[in-house]
A and B are shown apart, each in its own frame.
Chain A
Amino acid sequence: MESRVEQTSDSNILLEQKCIKKLSDAFVFAEIDDLPSMMKVHTLFNELSESLSLKTKPNCKRAASAAEELMERIVLEDVDDSIASLQIIERTISTLQGILLENQKESDRHFPMELEKDSAELREGDFVASLLENQNSSSTEIVDTEILAEFLADQTIVQEDLEGWILELEGDNPASSRSELKRIFHNLKGESSFLGLNEVSEACHNVEEILSELSVKDLIDPLLILHDWLGKIYDFHAGKGMHPGKIPSFIKDQSKEILDDKVDISITNTTSLDEERIDLSGCDSELLAEFIPEAIDHIDMANTDLLKLETELDNFEALNGVFRAFHTIKGVAGFLDLSLLLELAHEFENLLDRARKKEIVLSGQAIDLIFDALDMMKHIIQKISSSISNGETSLLVSGVKTLLYSLEQVFEGFTIDSKVQLSPASKGKRLGEILLEQNEIEPDVLKDALIKQGSIENKNSESPQRLGEILVRDTQVPPKSVAQALRRQNNVQRPVVEIRETIRVDADKLGMLIDTIGELVIAESMISQSPVVKSLKSTTLRNQLSRLEKISRELQEIGTSLRMVPIRDTFRKMARLVRDLSKKTGKTVKFLTVGEDTELDKSVVERIGDPLVHLLRNAMDHGIEKSSKDRESNGKFPTANIELRAFHREGSVFIEIEDDGRGLNREAIRAKAIEKGLIREEDIISERELDRLIFLPGFSTSKSVTDISGRGVGMDVVKNNIESLRGHLEVISTPGKGTLFSIKLPLTLAIINGMVICIGQERYIIPTLSVVRFIRPGEKDISTVMKKQEMIFLQGKYIQLIRLGNHFKVSGKIVDEPTRGLIVIVEADGVQIGLLADKLVGQQQVVIKNLGKMFEGIDGIAGGTIMPDGKVGLILDPVGLLKSTRNNTVLHNNKIKEGVKLNVQS
């Protein structure tokens, strides 16, 4: 029994160590503008502080939870200097590592003072207050529709969980559901505040506070109301339904608040109320008569300007033109006491003014609204005009309120377009075609307009008119539809978020399905290959068999494709990253993505994100010249280009990142390598080898560490990450022209190419990726060290020889003479080793299967697989083999890294 108790405390330590390792890894990848990575660090701190016991390591526990709080504040941008705060976190992590991993005493190590100070402040409650203030003051700003879509899609499941846990509160274990609810709201708070859904984050914050205070009875109803409210908010952002109104407040009177919401909805919903009477009795009819044609002129001009603005977002002159129109109409309307027109013009003037001050960039949705406003003004003025001629003194106008309400919505949910845009791979259609498709114009009209556009006058005039302008001027087409067509042409994203419908399936079920399909294929081939069946002469049977074969092969293809997802989402995140970085560094960059539909195994897609972030960060920070002047002096366009590509080739997936920046600075690399003692001054190495040095740990030529990159931990981590996906990273650089990082990845982690070798009666599979070559050495090539270790002399180097048969204790007759067997040279961890086997059976693609807990951690075996004959084959892990034979011998100077193990999937 005693040993078991020890084991649990051991396992606790293991858990702590695992936690801190994960944490330090996550921190390396965490970047301040990448929220998910920051949240990961935050969560890991939480896990760590929970796993640490207050008895044995009180300081660590406290430090971890203080750091967790600090991380939260960094994420919520509630710290003065986020870089300094991150440094505090970094120091905390290294101290924690010292204590937890190197068994230093808690009393010997000190956590950063600032951390304690920070958390002390925190206890005083300032933080909470400031947090609330922050959230209330900042305006709602939807950050990115793509990320929002993802968030919303996830929320359906979160909502279900939420409801479940709320109802569970009445169950047997309210404490656990309370803490679960806290966790959900906490996460939701962080995510929603990042996405600018401030009402959601505020609500979650309030709930977090009351969760522990109120009794279960008082809690359930408000929580359910909140749950429904959240659902409506999500629907609203997904473009379905109305905004549900204010946050239900629990601490105040609940019922009143709910009532308020209902009133709110009814106002916005009922258009019949949206009618306004315009009284003309007080107007000077002469002045009015003068105003009408003038206003119509202004509106028409504004329409033309707005169209220009649609395609050239930064056309300041056009923006001014639109602004002027609204301004003039506002002035005259005020003078004439037309309050409705005044209000309308005024509100839109405000919007345009903000655009003029560059506070906002007018996006498609806003421009649509301005078109609507212009139409509305025109409509009102025409109505006034007809009223005057009929001698009426008042008239009814409808729809103004709705328009103003939508303007408010636009103001709230403003998306700021940036300089970086996702350029679609092909622009395709022309304006005329799109208009035709939308049935906006007749072919004849289009033809006329095209002829006009092509006419000599137009071409020779100083500012040739565009098709859209001609169409609008001749009033054949409403300007709004031209604008929409133009937008479609430019492929600007639609403002309404689209949620793709998917079914979430238990990964185990999926695995079972794929396993069963694999079995079916084996069973099928066993039948059709069996001599008994082959000897049958029935054509019908043969046809049926081939049909069976076809179906089972199709099934297998579908099975593998189930796990494949397009890389699109990852690429979109990268576009976002580049845009943010471009703002931060002030470098203008055009970011192009190609091959977003390329499909990869889900687990690969999930894990390729971090390396890509690093590579892009590098490209932005180091790759691209400091300023556009630098670029121009090198004869390049001021706008830099970064291209992210994904494509299939040779049965692998390639992901490439190419920039047209400075390229690698080989002299700096060389100098750094000499400084670090990696090469000698007189060494001559190829450019390629020199370039590859950047993948070594701690290798950074950057003189200054910026908050974007340059800490020198990047490239080796990237390389390791990619290798852990069984991929390969390559760099090709042309000084002055740019750098290309090429990542080669297997299509799936579950399938590998393997060499099947034979030892006695047993078969093993060596991953082809690690096989260097096969040799059959001569007797003189084999030598021994102290009669304990054999070596092979190969190309001027001595290579350790492992006799697999002996190592694995294979029974029966095996080849024990290296000169008669086959030696497979494999590369493991940067070292070559020779493996003695009997013979090579062949090459084969195999699906990796987990061997289960019992066989966990057998050095040298990475997993199992089902061979075509239905038996199990074992897959060798060269790194593990090397480790198990190495003992304490140091074989090379480099510190031996953690072995990159094959990732085994069940």
Chain B
Amino acid sequence: MSNPETINKNETTEIRQIEQTEKYLTFELSKEVYGLEILKVHEIIGLLHVTRVPRMPEYVRGVINLRGKVIPVIDLRLKFGLEAGIDTELTCIIVVQVTGHSQSVTMGIIVDEVSEVLDIDRNQIEDTPNFGANVNTDFILGLGKVEKGVVLLLDVDQVLSDTTMDAVISKVPNNENDIPETIEAEME
């Protein structure tokens, strides 16, 4: 590679190679390592008080006050159908900027622990294998191979648009079902 002739010859491939390394913020969820494009990440904050918003799906933890702005926070464990974790000192909120259908939204995602920022070569990323209906891999861009093992690369835009849709859907049936239910429960 240090040979100038080679560079001249393979100029195009060289450039592509530079572009191919991308930075990912990695974090842990239930001992699994996930990666998030660093460009999407605004900041990482410690877990603070989350106000629950009623009538939302369970994985929507609620809202927090981010320097005067109210932003939604979702619990990725619950979102991915993992068992609910216990908040520890390492639990934190990654504030991400995601692009939905039309506009970009700031939201927080709760993860077990933030690990490090990794450079992952494009060559080292594999498409997500199809595991069949049992495992929903819609939110996974691909699998990054690194020294320590595998990093699940997250498509955070997909997570949000899916969440927004869920929220809309969950509201509709709720309206009709839950009132009789709760009242009956009270009466018993």
Contact = CB atoms under 8 A, between A and B. Distances in A.
Interface of A: 512, 514-516, 518-519, 762, 784, 787-790, 803, 806-810, 816, 849-855, 857-861, 864-866, 870-874, 884-885, 887
A853 B103 contact: yes
Contacts of A851: 53, 63, 70, 72
A858 B179 contact: no
B167 interface: yes
Given A516-B67, A789-B183, A858 B164 contact: no
A762 B184 CA distance: 24
7 contacts: A519-B68, A808-B55, A809-B55, A851-B63, A855-B63, A861-B53, A884-B175
Contacts of A858: 53-56, 171
Nearest to A857: B171
B187 A784 contact: yes
A864 B72 contact: no
Nearest to A850: B70
List 5 tightest A-B contacts by C-beta distance, closest first: A515-B68, A808-B54, A872-B51, A806-B182, A519-B68
B52 A762 contact: yes
A439 to B, nearest CB: 55
Contacts of B62: 872
Contacts of A860: 54-55
Nearest to B69: A515
B29 interface: no
Interface in B48-62: 49, 51-56, 60, 62
Given A853-B164, A871-B51, A872-B51, A519 B67 contact: yes
Nearest to B74: A854
A870 B45 CA distance: 15
Contacts of A871: 49, 51, 65
Interface of A (DSSP majority class): mixed
A855 B53 contact: yes
A779 to B, nearest CB: 15
Q: Residue among B54, B103, B171 with the most chain A CB within 10 A?
A: B54
Q: Residue among A788, A858, A872, A884 with the most chain B CB within 10 A?
A: A872
A787 B187 contact: yes
Nearest to B54: A808
B107 interface: yes
A852 B56 CA distance: 14
A854 B107 contact: yes
Nearest to A801: B183
A854 B109 CA distance: 14
A859 B184 contact: no
B183 A872 contact: no
B129 interface: no
A857 B55 CA distance: 11
A789 B71 CA distance: 35
B99 interface: no
B63 A872 contact: yes
B80 to A, nearest CB: 18
A368 to B, nearest CB: 55
B167 A873 contact: no
B186 interface: yes
B163 A854 contact: yes
A669 to B, nearest CB: 39
Contact of A870 (B55, B65, B69, B72): B65
A808 B55 CA distance: 6
Contacts of B51: 762, 864, 871-874
Interface string B156-187: 00000001100110010001101110111111
A873 B180 CA distance: 27
B53 A790 contact: no
Contact of B72 (A515, A516, A854, A885): A854
B105 A849 contact: no
B55 A852 contact: no
B100 A853 contact: yes
B70 A864 contact: yes
Contacts of A788: 179-180, 183-184
A518 B72 contact: no
Contacts of A807: 54, 178-179, 182
B72 A855 contact: yes
A874 B53 contact: yes
Contacts of B180: 788
A787 B184 contact: yes
Given A789-B183, A870-B49, A874-B63, 7 more contacts: A514-B68, A807-B182, A852-B105, A855-B56, A857-B168, A861-B53, A864-B70
A866 B183 contact: no
B110 interface: no
B68 A861 contact: no
B70 A859 contact: no
Contact of A515 (B63, B67, B100, B183): B67
B176 A887 contact: yes
Contacts of B69: 515, 849
B104 to A, nearest CB: 10
A872 B68 contact: no
Contacts of B65: 866, 870-872
Interface in B99-117: 100, 103, 105, 107
